[in-house]
Amino acid sequence: MSAPRPETAGTPAGTTDALLRRARELDAADPLASYRGHFIGTDTELSYLDGNSLGRPLKRTVTDISGFIQDSWGGRLIRGWDEEWLELPQAIGDQLGRAVLGAAPGQTVIADSTTVVLYKLIRAALAAVTDPVRTEIVLDTDNFPTDRYLVEGIAREEGLTLRWIDADPSSGVTVEQVRAATGPATAVVVLSQVAYRSGFLADLPGITAAVHDAGGLVVWDLCHSAGSVEIALDTADVDFAAGCTYKYLNGGPGSPAFAYVNARHLAGLQQPIWGWMGRKDAFEMGPGYEAAAGIRGFLSGTPAIFGMLAMRGTLDLIEEVGMAAVREKSCLLTAFAVELHDAWLAPAGVELSTPRNPELRGSHITVDHPAFREMTAALWEQDVIPDFRAPQGIRIGLSPLGTSFTELYRGVAAIRERLEEGRSGQDQDRPFRQD
């Protein structure tokens, strides 16, 4: 991108006029600016800062879904399974691998929810560890709740020991921490590439190498990184990875997750949820279970075809522009968000809980203030939509293809205005709840 990164741009005095001018300059210089028009709702004044929780729908999705109902489902009926639908979990998985994950064909499949996929992968990874002294699962204290709950439950089922990495909520897990926590007893390590609270971007290649050096296997959660940062699973020799598709991939509420299994693990590997769709010759309906070869063996029940359709539009866009351009826009957006924080929010007592180095964060930043719990609902009412995370954090999630710098400016300006109203109310002895 031709524009300098906002944190080094030297905005004069952080004034409102200067920051608005800066936002417009960044939009004018943005080579991805035109892609914003592909998304529904971007022609309004709404400031959507929650793309890291649920992405906007693409305009083409209306046509895609309508056409599927009319022509594919309505026209072909059950013939659709033989003609296309049975292959979609792997076909879309391969496109996802190619466009976003840095994964060669045959290693990625669309299936289930993130929770179910993670369960399958963790159990499969544990089953692949044959050394009886390897009885520990390593995870961190600030990982997403699903990841922690799953690992705790699996450890209880299998009689394994949990080794916790004490993660700093304002940053994340480092290579040094992983090296200190792993050793001869390590079986599997479960971590997120982007921390869901702080946005900290973990060193995926370095941590993967550290786990392998200790003789363990690693399962990566890519929910907050897939579609926002460059990922190279094959190059890093990652063992397993999972992620959702409704954030930066715009698959829609509850769209199915993806599973990645490194090709070197696929032969002979078994996942724990045996269902008819993961069986060799599923339509034989015969006795006994023999897993299908390759990544198809990680399917269980009937694929959620409807839920897979929307993400294809975003994958097409990402293949068109490339993940490098998406990542560059993400860095610019989060850097401008930090600049707005420094100019407007920090003087009001707001704390930045995200690394300042753009290379150490994903596509969201977190800011903390005691007033934010109550404020978030009020912001939503005025069409400014960030995401609240207890105890007192607002996450500003920035989807590179669909978010403009001016939209970000408007959103943070609204947060500033709410803070100013609260301080004014306190000055006049009117109660301003801060919980």
Going by C-alpha positions, the residue among 379, 251, 249 that lies closest to residue 319 is 249
Measured CA to CA, the distance from residue 12 to residue 42 in angstroms comes to 29
Task: Return the pLDDT at 169.
Answer: 79
Measured CA to CA, the distance from residue 14 to residue 22 in angstroms comes to 10
When computed from its CA atoms, the radius of gyration of the chain, rounded to whole angstroms, is 23
Retrieve residue 75's tokens. 């026209």
Name the catalytic one among 5, 24, 68, 144.
Answer: 144
Q: What angle do CA 349, 352, 353 make, to 5 degrees?
A: 130
Task: Return the pLDDT at 434.
Answer: 30
Measured CA to CA, the distance from residue 189 to residue 187 in angstroms comes to 7
Name the catalytic one among 36, 247, 279, 312.
Answer: 247
Please check the confidence at residue 80 and state whether its pLDDT lies above 80.
yes
Please check the confidence at residue 403 and state whether its pLDDT lies above 70.
yes
Mean pLDDT, rounded, for 316-326: 98
Beta-carbon contacts of 223 under 8 Å, excluding residues fewer than 6 positions away, are 114, 144, 192, 194, 196, 242, 243, 244, 247
Name the catalytic one among 35, 240, 246, 248.
Answer: 246
Task: Return the pLDDT at 171.
Answer: 80
Helix, strand, or coil (residue 128): helix
The topology under which CATH files domain 61-309 is Aspartate Aminotransferase; domain 2 (3.40.640)
Residue 144: active-site member: yes
Retrieve residue 231's tokens. 């990922």
Sequence spans of domains, the chain: 6-58+322-427, 61-309
Does residue 16 or residue 23 have the better pLDDT?
23
Residue 247: active-site member: yes
Strand locations in 222-360 (E)? 240-243, 258-261, 351-352
Please check the confidence at residue 198 and state whether its pLDDT lies above 70.
yes
State residue 99 phi and psi, 5-degree precision. -80, -35
The rounded percent of the chain whose pLDDT value lies above 90 is 90
Strand locations in 126-168 (E)? 136-140, 161-165
CATH 3.90.1150.10 for domain 6-58+322-427, yes or no, is: yes
Name the catalytic one among 395, 410, 416, 418.
Answer: 395
Q: Which of 112-126, 168-182, 303-317 has the lowest mean pLDDT?
A: 168-182
Name the catalytic one among 30, 203, 221, 387.
Answer: 221
The single-letter code of the amino acid at 45 is E
Mean pLDDT, rounded, for 2-28: 69
Residue 405: active-site member: no
What's the chain's average pLDDT?
Answer: 93
Task: Return the pLDDT at 268.
Answer: 84
Task: Return the pLDDT at 3.
Answer: 37
Task: Return the pLDDT at 90.
Answer: 98
Residue 306: active-site member: no
Please check the confidence at residue 25 and state whether its pLDDT lies above 60.
yes
Task: Return the pLDDT at 227.
Answer: 98
The rounded percent of the chain whose pLDDT value lies above 70 is 94
Please check the confidence at residue 428 and state whether its pLDDT lies above 80.
no
Residue 395: active-site member: yes
> What does the DSSP 8-state code read for residue 227?
T
Q: Which of 11-15, 94-98, 310-314 has the lowest mean pLDDT?
A: 11-15
State residue 432 phi and psi, 5-degree precision. -130, 100
Task: Return the pLDDT at 170.
Answer: 80
Task: Return the pLDDT at 12.
Answer: 40
